[in-house]
Amino acid sequence: MSEIKWIKIATNIFDNRKIKQIECLPDGDRIITIWLKILCLAGNINDCGRVYFTQDVPYTDQMLCVEFNRPIALIQMALGVFQKFGMIEIVDDIIRVSNWEKYQSVAGLERIREQGRARVAEFRQRKRLADGTNECNATCNVTVTQCNGTEEDIDKEEDKDKENTTHTPPVHKEKGNSHEWQTIINDFNRICPSLPSVKGMSEERKANIKQRLSEHPDTTLAEVFERVEKSDFLTGRTKKDPWRGCSFDWIIKKANYIKIIEGNYDNKTAKGQSWENDAFTKSAYEIKDI
């Protein structure tokens, strides 16, 4: 299987507010080095940003200590910072890089995989028609399988996308569903007048919304919007803080969506209970995702 041997790093990565915050921490430079090592490891594993030793064996702190050749205390501190800043998620002990599509051409990889699946199916069909051999041997001679797209293949696919964008008018692919997306837009603008209004739905927004609804089927988007509108902090109504309110895209991100549902940003009057007293949480909240 051909491996993907690159990830995308923006030249202005060190202008990012999260990276600047990390640089100011004790051992900040060493923590950033671990971040880059995690990105490279995720790219080498090539599984949608997941980081594991094998699919059945997650990395432990001790294993990462050996993998990255860094002290275990530094590994633990770095993972804690990355989680606080929303740079990684850890689900069932598996690390996953958030916003992985910024570091790897996810759409290009999926197209290459789909091409691989089509080639396998076509080869099997030809093999059956030609000599009737058992199809379990058919894939042995196929050179492109589901996950072995190369960097060159992906670059070609992205070039095709650019050509199509230049010469072909955009086509709405989700026929019959446009009214559902418009309903979500209307609900948000109606329920959350304190926040910047939404004008349209990008493919990334649609994917995030579908994922959140599948993860939390008992909670509607309207209920989440209502909870946001009632929060003084999320709407920017607090006078003690320069924060001016969250955005629609911030709301539908996984970690933020869960915190809203759980009531982390609900108004609290009991002394010492308000999240506003937690400077670290507030700092992490205000920093954009990388």
Helix (H) or strand (E) holding 85: none
Helix (H) or strand (E) holding 290: none
Instruction: Examine the pLDDT at 142 and tell me if it is beyond 60.
Output: no
36: tokens are 């880059």
Residue 124: the pLDDT is: 76
**Helix count and strand count (H, E) for the chain:** 12, 3
Residue 118: the pLDDT is: 73
Would you give the DSSP letter of residue 269? -
Closest-CA residue to 229 (of 185, 260, 186, 271): 260
Question: Which whole-number Å values give the CA distances from 50 to 200, 270, 283, in the listed order?
Answer: 30, 40, 26
What burial letters (b/e) apply to 131-149, b meaning 16+ CB within 10 Å?
eeeeeeebeeebebeeebb
Q: Which CATH number fits domain 13-102: 3.10.450.50, 1.10.10.10, 3.40.718.10, 3.40.50.720?
A: 1.10.10.10
Residue 240: the pLDDT is: 58
* d(C-alpha 166, C-alpha 277), whole Å: 50
CA dihedral 228, 230, 236, 239 (to 10 degrees): -150
Helix (H) or strand (E) holding 49: none
The alpha carbon dihedral of 274, 278, 283, 289 has a sign of negative
pLDDT tens-digit readout, 260-273: 999 998 987 544 44
* d(C-alpha 282, C-alpha 276), whole Å: 7
**What are the sequence ranges of the domains in the chain?**
13-102, 106-167, 184-286
Residue 255: the pLDDT is: 92
Task: Measure the N-to-C terminal CA separation of the chain; round to a whole number of Å.
Answer: 30
The alpha carbon dihedral of 191, 196, 198, 202 has a sign of negative
Residue 7: the pLDDT is: 77
The alpha carbon dihedral of 238, 243, 249, 255 has a sign of negative
Instruction: Examine the pLDDT at 119 and tell me if it is beyond 90.
Output: no
Residue 49: the pLDDT is: 85
* d(C-alpha 114, C-alpha 194), whole Å: 43
* d(C-alpha 261, C-alpha 270), whole Å: 20
* d(C-alpha 50, C-alpha 67), whole Å: 15
Contact 284, 275 (CB under 8 A): no
Q: What is the mean pLDDT of the chain?
A: 76
